[in-house]
Structure 1
Amino acid sequence: MVRPRWHLRSSTGSNRLGHHWDQFVALWAALNLLWVCFDITYVPLRTFWLQRNLYPLPSAPLVLRLGFLPDITPFYDPVKGIEPHRETQAYLNAFDQMDHALLAGSPASDLRQRQVALTDQMIDDNPFLASGGSGTLEKIKNRLRERADQDSAKQSAELLLGDDWLRRQPWSEERLFWQQQVLPLVATNYWRSIDENGRPTDQFWRIDLLLFQSVFLADILLRAARLRRRLPGLSWGDALLRRWTDLPLLLPFWRWLRLIPVVERLQTSGLVNMEPLRAVISRAVVALLAVELFEVLALQLMDGAQGLIRSSQWPQRIRRLRSHQSVSINDERELVELLRIWGPLLLNEVGPRLAPQFQAVLAHALQQTLQSMVVPPGLRQLQLLMEVEQQLTQQLASGMVDSVMELSRGAGARLQRRDNRQIDLLRDCVDRFWDELAEALESGPVLERSQQLVCALLEELKLTYLAQINRTGIDALIRELDQLTVPPATAAENQPMGAEASGPASTPRDQSP
């Protein structure tokens, strides 16, 4: 039973320092890949990192608060060039002033009017448009309308901060609506600076170059040096070219491609065994490609054979099979040698074993001949005459078959002998056979009919055999692959409790070098 490659023991090598370095670089590359994923998703998920709230169902008011996560936005916003938006930040500061005044018992009518004016300005200017959060403003407007039961968001803000509403709703309770429903949405807005090239500011490449890509470059040069030490005739360019899979580690763009060298380094360093996962993913793809490739090749071969058979030069191609026109790799004539080997085999062993069958066939043919030519119809009813006729035909058939078998044994014995004259005669016989066959095809009506029949046979093979491949599909190939690669259950697992295996236990070979 074939053992899967991931069941074999892997050797770490004799250079422990180099192996530890490879493991460090693999872990460092895995950490870099995690940071790359975080950096790519930071801006789209900045609202989550700011509020640490998870909404499993966006259409439902279900919120999972992840307060144990730290607020990383003050530390990572400068990396992406993110700053608080002036308009929304002024709105938050003005609300804090109004909140402190109302909690202190002051009417704060001027502050409330200013807050209403800022709300109207925010609705008119839509400062969320720059950060791609236009939907956030719509959420704010909808929540204001629902709270005040009004059709206009501006009128709702004026009503919620008006004297009549605050006399019915104390501010200690009303402020919860603003702090939980409105202000968190306003705080998600930001402004992102752009660099001299007109693109959003991103300082990721500086940190990546300093902490990670410098280590990757040193490791790539070290691996190239190892390769050149093992293959002294290899140039530096060829050695670096062989490490082409490490190129994504040095690219400042398409950073998600670093997954390929990271997985390769984790696998080669022995930290993670990715072979089972690779086999599961690739075997179905390989089986599918194998079936498709075999179908194309088989179809191409059959179409080529049909084109060759339909050609009017088919007799000439048959004639070219003669020994003096065929291309030979060596001086040995394969067809003549096969006849010299198979001739004795058929004449000495296969033919004599078929003597009873030959006798029966020949006796039946002789009996039918005697009945139709020698015995008159009126005498065919005599039982004695029929028995004599049957015995006579059997004796004749036996004698003829014995004579033929004796001749075949003699011919087979002669063919076994190495004789140059015999080889020349066999070659002349084969050449004459191809000549006569080609001439018969050219002069008779057999050629066209033979071409039609052979091409029809190949067409049926295409319609049946290739269709059978499609019907069997990939599942049969995968099942066969499982039978070859999955190790069988051990004897201890297959036997009942307390039973002992009969015979000596087989010791598996150690696959390690």
Structure 2
Amino acid sequence: MALPRWQERYPMPVGRWSRSWDRFVALWAGLNLLCVAFDISYVPLRTFWLQRNLYPIPSVPLVVPLAAIPDITPWVDPIKGIEPHRETQAYLRQFRQLDAALRVQPVGAALSPAQLSLLQRQRQLTLTLIETNPFLASEGSGTLEKIKSRLRQRVNTDSARDAARTLFSPAWLQQHGWQGERLFWQEQVLPLVATNYWRSIDGNGRPTDHFWRIDLLLFQSVFALDILLRVIRLRRRLPGLSWRDALLRRWIDLPLLLPFWRWLRLLPVVERLQSSGLITIEPLRAVVSRAVVALLAVELFEVLVLQLLDGAQGVIRSRQWPQRIRSLCSHQSVSGSNEERELAALVRIWAPLLLSQVLPRLGPELQGVLGYALKQSFENSVVPAPLRPLQPLLGVETGLGQQLASGMVESLLDLSKKTGQQLSRRDQQQLDLLQRVLDRFWEELAVALEQGEGLARSQELLCVLIDGLKGTYLSQISRSSIESLIRELDALTTAAASADFPASAASPKAAPATPQP
């Protein structure tokens, strides 16, 4: 048996330069796939990249800071056309001014007119933020709901507007002090406000995205060059192959050049990593295929077998069944040339085998059967009943039966050998006679079916037989376990691997690999 597919060596390019280039392109394609995944997920995950905080349990205020990750938003935001939102940035600037004015304010002290003006300004901006919802531009309405929920919980009220008025009132600040309120705003509210952004629109009315330029210059140009090299390599190996057919053979590389549906690049990337020998996906493919087989095998087999049996029933029930039998004649089914007389040629091959080789080897058995039949015939007809108890007469009877059986069988076998030898010779007249016999057989069978009730009764009986086969087959395949078949396949594969492993390990050198286009 052969080794499992995932334990075989994948065919690699012969040239060292080709092998190194293929591995470089495979790694470059893997890097491009990571970049594509990052580009697709950047906007939905921009809050994470901005704050670098991980929330393992969404319903619990548990934060895991990831300070080791750098802030990449200043470099990636311009690529995605993301700019700071003017309203939320004005809100953050105003809060910094209020924080600078109230940071030195002692608890319980009265506020100055400048501090009251800043406090009133911040309260008005908060109310405007709640009413206008500037987070709609970044599809972050849920962020505003989080802010409103935290404001209500802070004051223990049912209205976010009333909570904002209370939190920025002089009485609340004189009672609780600015230091505690400052921590509340900086830890629970302002980080949510800072996540808001504004994204520009291009000429097609879609959000701006300049990643395609990086993709084209750094990655797709390399992929196009690699595809061209692979096509040239394929045409050198197969000179008669056209450029179009060579490009069609590399259809799996098409997603690497498409500017849309970039997630489809997973297929060519995995194929290149597999073909370059960097990874192997056969175990995973085997597991997935077996799961699919376990789900679809029974239904698929049932449909196929039912379709075949229904087709056979349709042919049998047809009124043209005698005509179909008559069409088996050579003058209707073939053109008439000697080379196309398939059935006659098949009879010419099998008849000598049966007559000259198989039947002669059955001589002792045929003699025994015929001798026993003659003995029984002699006992019942030749020897009279009163003389049957005499033993000498019975011995003479047995010997006579054996001699007659031996002579008859030898004569028949000798005739069979001569007939087989004669049929084994290629003779045009012999072929014509065989063909005439076969044609006559089909013709007489069709005529016999057309006369009387034989046709209808035969059709009925055959259809009933096929119906019985349907029920028997379906009951057996429904009771059979596909999982047991898969386990049997695993056992056979493991046995093959264990049997071939010592031979493969003992060989000093691996077999030379064939070039891969």
TM-score, with length taken from structure 1: 0.84
Given that 1:80 and 1:203 are in contact with CA atoms closer than 8 Å, whether structure 2 keeps it comes out as yes
Q: Tell me how far 1:144 sits from its aligned partner.
A: 0.9
Percent identity over the alignment is: 58
Report the Cα distance in structure 1 between the residues aligned to 2:77 and 2:402, rounded to whole angstroms: 105
Indicate whether 1:277 and 2:284 are aligned: yes
Aligned residue type for 1:84? P
Q: 1:6: Cα distance to partner? A: 3.2
Amino acid at match of 1:73: T
Query: For the structure 1 residues 365 and 154, does the alpha-carbon distance in structure 2 shift closer, same or farther, using more than 3 Å as the test?
Result: farther
* Deviation of the 1:365 alpha carbon: 7.8
Is the aligned partner of 1:349 residue 2:400?
A: no
Alignment-mate amino acid for residue 342 of structure 1: L
1:114 aligns with 2:121: yes
> CA contact under 8 A between 1:9 and 1:512: conserved in structure 2?
no
For 2:174, the equivalent position in structure 1 comes to: 167
Q: Which residue of 1 aligns with 2:515?
A: none
Contact kept? 2:91, 2:125, Cα under 8 Å: yes
Query: Is the CA contact 1:227–1:239 (under 8 Å) kept in the aligned structure 2?
Result: yes
Letter matched to residue 197 of structure 1: N
Pair 1:47-2:51 in alignment = no
Moved more, 459-468 or 394-403: 394-403
- 1:437 alignment partner in structure 2: 445
Q: CA deviation at 1:76?
A: 0.9
Count of residues in correspondence between the two structures: 495
Match of 1:254 in 2: 261
Aligned residues of 2:3 and 2:497 also touching (Cα < 8 A) = no
Counterpart residue identity of residue 133, structure 1: G
Question: Could you list the runs of 5+ residues in structure 2 that have no partner in the other structure?
Answer: 513-517
**C-alpha spacing 1:56/1:362, structure 2 compared with 1 (3 Å):** farther
Matching residue within 250, 261, 272 for 1:265: 272
Specify the alignment match of 2:97 in structure 1. Answer: 97
In 2, the alpha carbon distance for the partners of 1:260 and 1:386 equals: 93
Does residue 71 (structure 1) correspond to residue 71 (structure 2)? The answer is yes
Please say which of residues 31-40 and 213-222 is displaced more in the overlay.
213-222
- Tell me the amino acid that sits aligned with residue 273 of structure 2: L
**Residues 36-435 of structure 1: matches in 2 within 5 Å?**
36-105=36-105, 107=111, 108-285=115-292, 294-322=301-329, 327=334, 329-330=339-340, 333-350=345-362, 352-357=364-369, 398=402, 401-402=405-406, 404-418=408-422, 430-435=438-443
1:472 corresponding residue in structure 2: 480
What is the SS of the residue equivalent to 2:450?
A: helix
The Cα shift of 1:191 comes to 0.9
> For residues 323 and 353 of structure 2, what CA distance do their matches in structure 1 show?
28
Q: Report Cα offsets for 1:129-173 as digits up to 9, x if no partner.
A: 121111111111111111101121111122122222223312212
Query: Secondary structure of 1:67's partner?
Result: coil
Structure 2 equivalent of residue 512 of structure 1: 511
Q: Is the contact made by 1:52 and 1:69 (CA closer than 8 Å) also made in structure 2?
A: yes
1:191-241 C-alpha deviation (Å, 9 max, x unpaired):
111112211111111111122122222222222222333333444443333
Q: CA deviation at 1:57?
A: 2.4
Q: 1:278 deviation in Å?
A: 2.8
SS in 2 for 1:408: helix
How many angstroms does 1:276 deviate by? 3.0
Which whole-Å CA distance do the structure 2 matches of 1:9 and 1:301 have between them? 40
How much has 1:306 moved relative to structure 2? Answer: 1.7
Q: Is the 8 A contact 2:316 2:463 kept in 1?
A: yes
Structure 2 CA distance for partners of 1:346 and 1:229, relative to 1, 3 Å: closer
Matched residues in 2 for 1:285 and 1:174: separation? 59
**Letter of the 2:457 counterpart:** R
Seen in structure 2, the aligned counterparts of structure 1 residues 280 and 329 have a Cα distance that, compared at 3 Å, is farther
Distance 1:329 1:237 in 2: 39
- Aligned position for 1:449: 457
| TM-score using structure 2 length | 0.83
Quick one: structure 1 residues 38 and 505, their matched pair in 2 at CA, closer, same or farther if it must change by over 3 Å? Answer: closer
8 Å contact kept, 2:151–2:164: yes
Alpha-carbon distance in 2 for matches of 1:348, 1:17: 67
Partner SS, residue 333 of structure 1: helix
RMSD across aligned positions (CA)? 3.6
Q: Contact (CA 8 Å) 2:6, 2:282: kept in 1 or not?
A: yes
Cα drift, residue 512 of structure 1: 1.5
C-alpha displacement at 1:68, in angstroms? 1.9
Q: Is the 8 A contact 1:194 1:201 kept in 2?
A: yes
CA distance in 2, matches of 1:511, 1:285: 34
Please state how far the C-alpha of 1:78 moved relative to its aligned partner.
1.0
- Provide closer, same or farther for how the CA distance between residues 511 and 280 of structure 1 changes in structure 2, counting only shifts above 3 A: farther
Q: CA deviation at 1:103?
A: 0.8
Counterparts of 1:12 and 1:423, CA distance in 2: 54
Deviations 1:22-65 (A, max 9, x none): 22221111111101000000101111111222222222223322
Q: Return closer, same or farther for 1:270/1:359 CA change in 2, 3 Å cut-off.
A: same
Contact 2:356 2:421 (8 Å CA) reproduced: no
Distance in 1 between the 2:9 and 2:210 partners?
A: 44
Does the 8 Å CA contact 1:302/1:458 hold for their aligned counterparts?
yes
Secondary structure at the counterpart of residue 469 of structure 2: helix
Report the CA distance between 1:439 and its aligned residue: 3.5
Shift of 1:445: 2.8
Deviates more, 1:196-205 or 1:385-394: 385-394
Name the SS of the counterpart of 1:9 in structure 2: coil
Q: Distance between the aligned counterparts of 2:358 and 2:218, measured in 1?
A: 79
Kindly tell me: are residues 393 and 93 of structure 1, through their superposed partners in 2, closer, same or farther at Cα, counting changes over 3 Å?
Answer: farther
The 2-side partners of 1:423 and 1:32 are apart by: 70
Q: Which has the higher contact order (CA 8 A, sep 6+)?
A: 2
Residues 3, 487 of structure 1: 8 Å contact kept: no
Check the 8 A contact 1:320/1:326 in 2, yes or no.
yes
Distance in 1 (CA, whole Å) between partners of 2:144 and 2:306 is: 62
Residue by residue, what CA displacement relative to the aligned partner does 1:83-122 show, whole Å, maximum 9, x if unpaired?
Answer: 1111111111111111111112283222111111111111
Judging changes above 3 Å, is the alpha-carbon distance between structure 1 residues 348 and 230 closer, same or farther for their aligned structure 2 residues? closer
Listed as ranges, the gaps of 5+ residues in structure 1 are 494-500
1:459 aligns with 2:451: no
